[in-house]
Chains A and B, each alone.
Chain A
Amino acid sequence: MSMPDPFRVVYSAFRMAMLHWMADPQWVIPNIIAPFVFTTVALTLFKDATGPFGLYAVLGGGMMGMWGNTIYSSGFAIEFERWQGTLEEVIAAPSKLIHVITGRAVSNALFGLTNMIAILVIAVGGFRVSLGITDPLMFAVSLLLTLLSVSALGLIFASAFILSRSAQVLTNGLETPLYIVSGSMFPIALLPFWIHPAAYILGPTWGVDAIRLATSADYVSQSFWAGMSPGMAIFLDLTVMVLITLAYVAIATVLFKLVERRARVTGSMVQA
């Protein structure tokens, strides 16, 4: 018997999660219907607003929905296995639990995209909001990398679920502060100075900056890299985000190792 190939395990867990998404149409509610309702309300209320409305209201709303879905579902991946009654079978396998949860987290991230896409379609198609994406390729790349960064953050949350079912309080409680601190809805400059360090260690903060730069070249003056060309600013944003994401993965790997051993002592992952 060979050691399980990590990439194969990640892919297999990704595929299994996708099969479950397909089999359970409930995802339509948080990913399509809810964003449709919220975007409709926001665009109706602020239809006469001027300025970078698309950047903050539409993109911000989309990102919030997308990240909320990703962080929540990734953190909740362990709980999903508990509900299915498969957690014991999964942890009894020789593959590493973090690889299984990574596959699920990436799948959740992709489904999180539907949230963003739903909002963009409603805003552009239904309300004729002009987003004027200047660099569609970098927009897509930034969006995908940001989603991966959020998934990696979700892995850290997931490790908490190994120790306790009450970890849901943690994900629920941190979701809104994360939106605010990462600058999804309004610029970080508006936040108190002492919150800025917290913003800088969040990968999505840099992802948001890159997405906005790809949407509007004029935004560069408000970005972290004011004075540089938009292309270079996006590159730097993405580089910082990738480094932070790698740090998240490293932290999650250590946390999984620690909490898995702890769970084998306390029995929090099994029914004894």
Chain B
Amino acid sequence: MLPWKAIVHIPDGFLSTPVWATMDVAAAPAVAYIVRRAQRGFDDARVPLLGVMGAFVFAAQMINFPVGIGTTSHLVGGALLAYTLGPAAASVVMSAIIAIQALVFQDGGILAMGANLINMALVGVLAGYLPFYLWGGGRWHKWAIFAGGALSLMVSAVLALAELLISGVPMPASVLGVSLALFVVSALLEGAITLAVIQALETIQPGFVRKPETGRSFALGAIGLAAVLLAAVGVLVASTAPDGIEKLGLQVGIASHVRSLVTTPLTGYQAAFFQTGWLRKASGGLAGLALIYGACLLIGRAVARKRSA
């Protein structure tokens, strides 16, 4: 197993308390929601399928793909699951995988599980499904699958990196650069492997792979995707240079508004609490995350409106 694939499962002890606590609080309702969505219309008979597919992903990680001189890579699987089971069921399966990895294999922390769930099971699967949903039906079918596989890995890794940076884990520019380069390579490999497996599946039994609707606007999708990518990059930049972002924010006058928004309801409390470093750093990162969620929401609304038009 390539070492950088492990980077996406954050162990305990790496994230600062505000980060892991916020992620746990955010993950709980999100996972509950996605579980309810996956159950919609199906009785518990779906459970064995999802369980077995989760076991499949585990086992699939043992199959090595040759990718160069003496190196091999393996499938992570979020996008593949989304294309065969649908995004909600895929999120549930990935959540189960993350839980088993943390509990049985001690791969990934318990307090950090909220963050890992959001990175891989929720946002990662969504990011992987988005290109397929937008372009999977038309001529760009293969590229959509490739892009989805790559994006699911890239977004998961970038989010994990951002969380680590916001928590104050030191990462000099060189290490950051190398990590990002490795993420890009892994993402491209994930895209390639996902595409290859989907193509093989379509040969065995076409019914396995879902058929997304045709005729989605390429331009709308491209803009939406660009927005998500920009927001993701924004989170990363914000977490690496929180002071820089703060300076920029001060110049533009945003930061003072944000701070007054946050502090006014709580002015009765100790002023010392708000002068700690984490709030400054966190506000940059959290603003970025809010951007991503907002972008996804807007994309979803816009696409839905276009469909019904």
Same complex: no
